[in-house]
Amino acid sequence: MLKSCKIAIFASGLGTNALALKRAYKDFYSIDPILITDNPKSPICEEGILIPFTNKEEHEATLLRILFENKIDWLLLAGYMRILSANFIAMFSSWHNNKNQILNIHPSLLPKYKGKDAYLQAWNSKDSHTGVSVHLVTEVLDSGDILVQIPFLIRRDIDLEQFITESKKIENDLYMQVLRRIFQEEIPTIKFQEGVSFATPI
C-alpha cells in the first residue's frame, strides 16, 4: 500500500465522479484531496476550489501552480470539459520523472464516441453495448493509452435519462477501482520529485 499519494481532481459539471473520488481518498488517507472546478455553477464549489476560466495560458498556469505547491502525484479528470495542452501535460510529467500520471474517465468504449454526449451517441446508434474507459490524458481529445474499459448493455427498455443515470454508477465504480489499484501499487506511481522546478507554460 502507498503510505502517501497526493491526488488532485478536476471537474466542470455536477461532479458525481469527482465527489466519489474525493470521499474514497479521504476514507483512505483521512485528508481531503485537492478538488478544483472551472465552473462557478458547479456544486463542487462548495467543497473545492473555483478557478474560473480566463484564457487557456493563464488558467493552466494557475492550475499548475496549485499542483506544484501541493506536490501532487496524480491528476484525475472527472468530467473536466477542457483539453489540457501539451505544455501542461509535459510540465506535470516532468515532476514525476517524465511519467504521465494524468487520468480521465470517458463514457464510451474508446476509441468510439469521443468528445461530448458519448452516451447519447451510443443511444442513437445501432450498438448493443457501450461502456466506460479510463485512459491516460494527452493533448489529443480522448486519445491516450487505455488503462481499463468495461462494456455494458445499452438498455432500451428504459429511457435515455435513466440509462445515463445507471451508467454513471458504473463510471463511479470503475474510477474507484482504478484509484484502489493506485493505492495498492498495482498501478505504479512515480512520486513528486523533490527539487524539481516550476515554470509557467511557454
Domain ranges of the chain: 7-183
CATH superfamily of the domain spanning 7-183: Formyl transferase, N-terminal domain (3.40.50.170)
- In eight-state DSSP terms, residue 154 is -
Contact 177, 159 (CB under 8 A): no
Sheet with 34-37, edge to edge strand ranges? 49-50, 34-37, 7-11, 74-77, 102-106, 129-136, 146-153
Over the stretch 43-83, which tens digit does the pLDDT of each residue have? 889 889 999 998 999 999 999 999 999 999 999 999 999 99
Contact 133, 146 (CB under 8 A): yes
Separation CA 68–CA 23 (nearest Å) = 23
- In eight-state DSSP terms, residue 106 is E
Known active-site residue 106: yes
Residue 40 in grid coordinates: 462557478
Q: Using a cut of 0.75, tell me whether the model's pTM lies above it.
A: yes
Q: Which of 59, 106, 129, 135 is catalytic?
A: 106
In this structure, which amino acid lies at residue 7? I
- In eight-state DSSP terms, residue 21 is H
Over the stretch 141-186, which tens digit does the pLDDT of each residue have? 999 999 999 999 999 999 999 999 999 999 999 999 999 999 999 9
Residue 110 in grid coordinates: 474508446
